[in-house]
Amino acid sequence: MRIALVEDDPTQTQQLTEWVKDAGHSIHCFSNGQAFNQAIRRESFDMVIMDWNLPDTTGLQLLQQLRESSTLMAILFITSRDSEADIVSALSEGADDYLVKPIRKAETLARIASILRRTFGQTKESDKEHYPPFTLNHNYFTVALDDETIQLTPKEYDLTCFMFQNHGRLLSRNHILESVWGLSSDLSTRTVDTHISKVRRKLGLKPERGWRLISVYQYGYRLESLNSANE
């Protein structure tokens, strides 16, 4: 998963960065609200971990801004503020969980994993996933349109799975690149554009099939379901 950390304490930032990477996630760090707000205009994340006390704003204000948008994003507070009123306020505004410093590695990673499961669910609960009229077969790494198998390369299949599993979400090019090609990928985001174009063409993602894959200028892509049965 792709995680943003909004934290102005360098020691806390380094500690959390090491823990999150150990758990297999990518992490992008911001030392103030302005830097994070600039990034969120062009990037997407699965989770935001934020402190309450920031140099130029508060975590609560950032939380309110994020929840005013329609973006699906998990939010975890990690802060020294430990009053019941603060905890209730953050949770009431839409935070998914709240941890009080000092934090412990095992508990923190367990909370992160739990939030991500609740927010996004298990991506491969069975051998097949159905997004009518498409079926993803994880045993054979194939995609079928009704009963007809569509020929995809391994990376096109991975990209197809990621987009269907996150349909309805606006995903930045870097988010897609990291998730499909790997955390340390040094490929250009043009790779994403090329593969998206191929997947759109091969699957015939068009309204008459109940799906639309749209591009958002200078940001990324969103796969939209036009069939209420897929929601």
Residue 110 is inside which H or E element, if any?
A: helix 105-120
What number is the average pLDDT over the span 95-101? 96
**Domains 2-120 and 128-230 equal at CATH topology level:** no
- Alpha helix (H) residue ranges in the chain: 10-22, 33-40, 59-68, 84-92, 105-120, 154-165, 173-181, 190-203
CA distance 202 to 198: 6
57: nearest Cα among 86, 28, 90, 33: 33
Does residue 224 have a pLDDT over 90? yes
The predicted pLDDT at position 127 comes to 86
CA 133 vs CA 91, 169, 195, 210, 228: distances in Å: 39, 20, 21, 8, 13
Per-residue confidence band for 165, with pLDDT thresholds at 50, 70 and 90: very high
The Cα–Cα gap between 98 and 108 comes to 10
Return mean pLDDT, the chain.
Answer: 91
- The confidence score (pLDDT) of residue 227 equals 78
Q: Which DSSP string corresponds to 113-141? A: HHHHHHHH--S-SSSEEEETTEEEETTTT
Given this model, what pLDDT does residue 183 score?
66
pLDDT value of position 230:
61
Q: Which residue has the higher pLDDT, 182 or 44?
A: 44
The token pair that represents 221 in the structure block:
């892509």
Neighbours of 14 (CB within 10 A): 12
* pLDDT digits 0-9 by tens, 131-158: 999 999 998 899 999 889 999 999 999 9
Highest-confidence range of 59-73, 117-131, 174-188, 199-213, by mean pLDDT? 199-213
Q: Where are the domains of the chain?
A: 2-120, 128-230
In the prediction, which pLDDT does 198 show?
Answer: 96
Q: What is the pLDDT of residue 144?
A: 96
CATH of 128-230, one of 3.40.50.10300, 1.10.10.10, 3.10.180.10, 3.60.21.10: 1.10.10.10
Residue 42, pLDDT > 80, answer: yes
Q: pLDDT (tens digit, 9 = 90+) per residue, 2-36? A: 999 999 999 999 999 999 999 999 999 999 999 99
pLDDT band with cut points at 50, 70 and 90 for residue 69: confident
Query: What confidence score (pLDDT) does residue 68 get?
Result: 87
Residues 185-207 pLDDT 10s: 667 889 999 999 999 999 999 89
What's the CATH architecture for 2-120? Answer: 3-Layer(aba) Sandwich (3.40)
The radius of gyration of the chain from alpha carbons, rounded to an integer in Å, stands at: 19
Q: Which residues contact 14 (CB under 8 A, 6 or more apart)?
A: none
Which pLDDT value is given to residue 231?
57
Place of tokens 């191929």: 198
Q: What is the pLDDT of residue 167?
A: 94
The SS3 assignment for 212 reads strand
